[in-house]
Structure formats: C-alpha cells, structure tokens
Amino acid sequence: MNPLEDLEQVGDCAFFRPAGHPEAGPLPDRIKLLLQVVALTHARHIPKLLINLTEMENLEMPNVADRYFIMREFAAVAKGAVKIAFVLPPHLIGDRFGVLVGKNAGLTSDVFADEPTAVAWLNSESQP
C-alpha cells in the first residue's frame, strides 16, 4: 500500500480508502501508514482528510493507552492544519475517547459510520 498512489484529492479534501490489504500487518504498521497519509495531506496543504477504514480486514479496537498515544501522534503530524474524519466499522466506534484526546492535543477530528455524514462534517464550519 502506497499513500502516494492511494490518496485521492477532490477539491480541498483528500480521501484515503484502503481496501482489504491484509499485508498492512499489525496495528503499529497500520498506524504508521495512516500517519504517512496525514503527513502527505499536510505537506500538500490539503485542509481536510477522510480516512475510510470500513474495508480494511482484521481491525480491532486498540486499548485505551494505544488510542491515547495514536491520537496524540495524529495531532502532532496534522499540526493543527488538517481536519480528519475517520469512517470506521461500527465495532470501532466506541466511547469517542480518541476524539477527546486528539482535541486536547490540537487535532480537529471525529468518527463516523458512513462517508456522507463524514463529508458533511468536513465541510461544516468547524475548521482546524
């Protein structure tokens, strides 16, 4: 999986929709890939990013500590300049702890069950 090839830009929004990709490996490798996508979006000065993980295989809910550190990493890479909508399978949309951690670290993000709702939120007034 190559973020340069898989990142699609439409207007002021980037879309990353990895499908399948069991070779993405364990959680740290998958997070590293997503951080590369955020970094690429930031480097291209694209203010909005939709990451749709509904088609990725074998996704499990990270524990609380992992979610804390993952979202702080997303905030550090986004540098307050990229608003991120995560479209996740229902079993990964839980207590929204990660969204709160990201917000406290300067990240504007939210989680959604479908793309249309995520796109509407990205296009709302709440900008980074």
Q: Is residue 88 part of a domain?
A: yes
Token pair belonging to 63: 């524990």
CA distances 54 to 16, 75, 79, 87, 90, Å, are: 11, 22, 26, 7, 9
- Domain membership flag for residue 127: no
Q: Is residue 52 part of a domain?
A: yes
Structural domain contains residue 84: yes
Q: How do the pLDDT tens digits run along the chain, 128 residues long?
A: 566 678 899 999 999 998 765 555 677 888 898 999 999 999 999 999 999 999 887 788 888 999 999 999 999 999 999 999 999 998 888 888 999 999 999 999 999 999 999 999 999 975 55
Please give the residue range of the domain that contains residue 26: 3-122
Q: What is the pLDDT of residue 125?
A: 75
Evaluate whether residue 128 is within a structural domain.
Answer: no
**CATH number of the domain enclosing 80:** 3.30.750.24
Q: Tokens standing for 43?
A: 């480097």
